[in-house]
Structure 1
C-alpha cells in the first residue's frame, strides 16, 4: 500500500540497452530508500532479465511518423490510448515523480504527468537531443544529460551517464595496451540489438590483416547468433585466437582485458568504455536518429579518446590501415586511455538520485 510519506517513483525507459541500463542503474539505488518503485518500458525491454524480474508495466508506443497519413493517424490514436493508460497508472499508484530516459515510450507518461501536475525529471543520454526529450524539455522541472548540452540547452545539468553497477568497478581498471603474453586484445561489441556490420562482415576484413599482426591478436567478438559458427570457423582457419559469443555474461572481465574496443557509438557503450579507460574505434550507425551516434563518437574523437570510422571504412581499407597503426603504437593507446579517464563521471547515478529526491510532489 502506498503511503503519503513515501516517494512513489516511476522510471520509464525504451526497450534498448542505451535506455534500460542507465534507468536500472538509478532504479537500483532506490531499493534501500523509503520508496515504492515502478518501472515502465515496451515489449523489447522484457528481453533484459533484470527488467523481467521487476514486473514492469508495459506500454505500446510508436515513433513520430511524418510521411504516411495512415501511420500518422495510427500513431496519434495509440498515443491517446497510451496516455489514458498512463494517467490511470499514475493515479492508481499515487506516482509522485516520473523519471524518463528517452524514447517514445516516455511520451504518454510525461504527457500524463504534466496533465496531473506531477514532477518530471528527464535524462538525455546522447550528444544530440532525442525527439521524445526535446518535445518536453522546456516544460519540465529538472533536465539532465550525459554529454554537455549547455550550448543549445543552457538549463541542462550534466550528470554523466549512469552505468550498470557491476561496471562501476571499471573505474579502478589499470589499462595495459598488451596482455602479459604480449597479445593485443580486440573487444568487438555489436550492441544490445546486434550489428550485422560488426559481426561476420567485420570478421572477413580482420582476417586480411598481415600474418605478423594476426599472430599478435586475441579477439573477443560479440556476434549475431546466426553468425556465430561462421565467424568462429573464419578465425580458426586463419589461426587467430578468439572467443566468439552472442552475448558476454561477464562483460566487466572483457573490458578489463581489452587493448581496443570496436563498437557502435551508443551512449551506454561509450560511457562504459570511458569508465574502463579503454580506447575505442567507433563505427556509428549511418541512419541513427539525428545522427546521434556520430555526434556521440565525435565528442570522444575531439578529445583524442577514440577513433571515428564511417560504415564504409570497414570495407574500403581504412579499417585495416587504422587497426594496423594502432596495434603498433602502444604509447598512443596509453594517451587515449588517459584521455578517456579524464571524461569519466562515475557518480552519475548518485547525482541523479539526489536530484530525484530533491523534487517535491506538486500533485493536487
Structure 2
C-alpha cells in the first residue's frame, strides 16, 4: 500500500496499515524517506517500509522539468520491480504523488487496486486511477472528480480511537480550572491571518475564563518567538498554551470544547469522530477548492461553521467562537449523525472479502 507527501494522505494510510496488520495480513508500505518527518510514520514497522524518492512535477515547464521526469521514471521502475518481486494480492493507496508509481505498477501487473479518498474533490492521483480501481472508499457522501461509480462512503480512517479522561488532558496542557477550552490548529505551516486575529482577542478570552491550546505552526511560532510575542503571551495570559505543533492530538480532542481549524480531510474526520464543533477556515486556493468543499459539508449539515480567509477579523473570530460554545450540544448532536463507525475496519473488511475466493 502507499500514501504520503502530506499528513492528510499518510494518517489514513497508517490507520489502514495497522488494521491490516492486526488481522494478520502481510503488508508493505511505500512512502518517501521525507515522510518520516511525520511522527506517525514511525508506526509503520521498519521491515514494512519501502522508500521511493519521488517528487511532484510542476505544471509549468522549466529547465528542471527533464530532471524531474527522469527521477519520476526511475521511481516508477524501482517501484515496479519491488512490487513484481513481492507479488502482493492487492494494492491499496490513499493518494499523494508517491502513490502514483504504486498504482501504475498494480495496473501493469494486473493486481486489484483499491483507493481510499479523503477529500470532497479527489486528488490527481486518486482521480486518475479511480476508473481502474475495484472500489473507491470515500470520506464524504459526494466526492467530485472521481471517474467511477464503484464507491462506498466509509468515512476517513483515523489513528485516534477514544477520548482520554478530560481531567488528564487538562492536566497535560496545564489548563485545569478553565471554564471552556478552545483549540486552534492551523496546520504545519500555520495560518497567519488566523494567528494574527487570535492574538488580538486573547484579553477577551482570558476575561471569559476560556483556555486556549494554540498550535501555531512552525513558521508563525518561530516568528512570534523572535518578535518576543511568545514571552509576552506567557507573562500576560496563563490561559494560553502555544505550540509549534501538537503531538498528543488525542489529548487535544479530549479537552477541547471547540476548535478553530483549517479544513483538511483528516481534521474534518477527527472533528466528526470526537464530536468537536469547529470553525473551519479553508486554505485559500486549495486544489479544486477541496478545503472549502470539506468545510461546507459540515456547515451545510449544521455540524460546524465556515469562515473564509477574506472575512477574518478579531471581532468575527471571537463572535464565532462564542457561537460554538453556546451551541455546543446542538453541534455535537449533528456531528454524531455524520459519524461512520471505524472506517479502517470497514474498508479492510470489504477488501479482504473481495479477495477471498467464493
Give the TM-score normalised by the residue count of structure 2. Answer: 0.85
- How far apart, in 2, do the equivalents of 1:54 and 1:16 lie? 19
Gaps of 5+ in 2: 167-174
The 5 Å alignment of 1:134-153 reads 134-149=127-142, 153=146
Query: Displacement, 1:31?
Result: 2.1
Query: Displacement, 1:59?
Result: 1.7
Gaps of 5+ in 1: 1-10, 174-178
Select 1:67's aligned residue among 55, 60, 72.
60
- How far apart, in 2, do the equivalents of 1:245 and 1:12 lie? 30
Query: Displacement, 1:51?
Result: 2.2
User: 1:205 touches 1:320 (CA, 8 Å); kept in 2?
Assistant: no
Change (3 A) 1:217 1:235: farther
After superposition, the C-alpha distances for 1:202-224 in whole angstroms (9 at most, x for unaligned) are 432323x547x634211011122
Matched, 1:226 2:222: yes
Query: Displacement, 1:189?
Result: 1.5
- How far apart, in 1, do the equivalents of 2:80 and 2:355 lie? 19
- How far apart, in 2, do the equivalents of 1:231 and 1:26 lie? 41
Aligned-residue CA RMSD in angstroms? 2.8
Select 2:249's aligned residue among 231, 248, 251.
251
User: 1:143 touches 1:156 (CA, 8 Å); kept in 2?
Assistant: yes
- How far apart, in 2, do the equivalents of 1:214 and 1:68 lie? 54
After superposition, the C-alpha distances for 1:157-205 in whole angstroms (9 at most, x for unaligned) are 11111001xx2214999xxxxx9956121111132x2314277424323
Corresponding pairs, count: 339
User: 2:113 touches 2:132 (CA, 8 Å); kept in 1?
Assistant: no
User: 2:184 touches 2:261 (CA, 8 Å); kept in 1?
Assistant: yes
- How far apart, in 2, do the equivalents of 1:347 and 1:326 lie? 26
Query: Displacement, 1:358?
Result: 2.5
- How far apart, in 1, do the equivalents of 2:59 and 2:144 lie? 28
After superposition, the C-alpha distances for 1:327-363 in whole angstroms (9 at most, x for unaligned) are 4x2xx2210111111111122000111122124399x
Select 2:19's aligned residue among 29, 40, 59.
29
Give the TM-score normalised by the residue count of structure 1. Answer: 0.84
Which is worse superposed, 226-235 or 247-256?
226-235
- How far apart, in 1, do the equivalents of 2:337 and 2:354 lie? 30
The 5 Å alignment of 1:1-364 reads 11-52=1-42, 54-55=45-46, 56-68=49-61, 70=63, 72-149=65-142, 153=146, 154-164=149-159, 167-170=160-163, 181=177, 183-191=179-187, 193-197=188-192, 200-207=195-202, 210=204, 214-223=207-216, 224=218, 225-227=221-223, 229=225, 230=228, 232-239=230-237, 241-315=239-313, 317-327=315-325, 329=326, 332-360=327-355
User: 1:185 touches 1:257 (CA, 8 Å); kept in 2?
Assistant: yes
Change (3 A) 1:144 1:20: same
Change (3 A) 1:28 1:63: same
Change (3 A) 1:39 1:152: closer
Which is worse superposed, 139-148 or 241-250?
241-250
- How far apart, in 2, do the equivalents of 1:80 and 1:355 lie? 33
Higher helix content, 1 or 2 = 2
Match in the other structure for 1:6: none
